[in-house]
Amino acid sequence: MYATVRVLSHRGPIRVELARWGEQLVVIKRFLGGSPLLAERLHREGQVVQKLSHENIVPLLATGEDRLIYAYCPGIPLSTALMAGPLKLTLALKLTTDLLKALDYAHGQGVIHFDVKPANIIVRGDSALLTDFGFAKDLALTAITQQGMLLGTPNYMAPEQFRGDRSDLRSDLYSVGAVLYHMLTGAPPYGSQVIKVLTGDTTVPLAPLTGEASCLNEVMRLALTPQPWQRYPSAAAMLAAINGDYRDPGF
- 115 flagged as catalytic: yes
Alpha helices in 133-245 (DSSP H): 159-162, 170-185, 194-198, 217-223, 235-245
Set 66, 98, 104, 115: catalytic member:
115
Alpha-carbon span 204 to 29, nearest angstrom: 39
3-state secondary structure of 55: coil
Burial of 50 (0-12, 13-18, 19+ CB in 10 A): middle
Give the H or E element holding residue 6. strand 2-11
d(CA 102, CA 99): 5
Q: Which active-site residues does the annotation give?
A: 115
